Amino acid sequence: MDADRFLALEVRLKSLEDREAIRALIAAYGPLADTGLAEDLAQLWDEDGSYAVGAMGEVTGRAAIAELIDGPIHQALMQDGCAHLLGPVAIDLDGDRATARGHSVVLRHTGTGFEAHRVSANRWELTRGPHGWVVSRRDNALLDGSEAARALLLPRH
């Protein structure tokens, strides 16, 4: 066996590791949101990363993202009882950048049961930073029939 064959194996392994790291990053979001760990959750994003939540507007930077979690809307959700359930993500790797597309469902306890409070499309833009993959931008929009929400789930051609 030669060095080329070894290198080829390393490249294939790296690609799997990248996909696994991206999946792990996104899988960490739900538990952090549900437990209200605002600082830890913000660390999933790049320093100047942004989070756009449909009609609620867009925030930039970790402090602003942490404030979303510490804010009254999210705290009320946690008080009632909530699950930020995500679906599997379709990952497109492109060197040190990647995109992941998938659904998120916020389930909310109503007192007598649970309801699907928000059902959204998500587009995660990711970057490989010095300490691993981070979110550079997340776009989230309610799947209420709007074209803009559907557009987040479109693959790049």
User: Which residues are at the interface with its own copies (CB under 8 A)?
Assistant: 1, 3, 5-6, 9-10, 12-13, 16-17, 19-20, 23-24, 26-28, 30-32, 34-37, 40, 78-91, 101-103, 105, 107, 109, 113-121, 142-146, 149-151, 153-155
**Residue 92 Cβ vs its own copies, minimum distance, rounded to whole Å:** 9
Local structure of residue 93 (DSSP, 8 states): E
**Residue 89 Cβ vs its own copies, minimum distance, rounded to whole Å:** 6
Phi and psi, residue 150, nearest 5°: -60, -40
Report the distance separating Cα 139 and Cα 127, nearest Å.
15
Which is nearer to its own copies, 48 or 73 (by Cβ)? 73
Other beta carbons within 10 Å of 102: 18
Which is nearer to its own copies, 41 or 59 (by Cβ)? 41
**Residue 16 Cβ vs its own copies, minimum distance, rounded to whole Å:** 6
**Residue 58 Cβ vs its own copies, minimum distance, rounded to whole Å:** 21
Structure tokens belonging to residue 112: 């007598």
Q: Which of 155, 41, 30 minimizes the C-alpha distance to 98?
A: 155
**Residue 118 Cβ vs its own copies, minimum distance, rounded to whole Å:** 8
Which is nearer to its own copies, 135 or 149 (by Cβ)? 149
Which is nearer to its own copies, 39 or 48 (by Cβ)? 39
Any long-range contacts for 14-21 (C-beta under 8 Å, 24+ apart)? Answer: 15/93, 18/93, 18/98, 18/128, 18/133, 19/91, 19/93, 21/132, 21/133
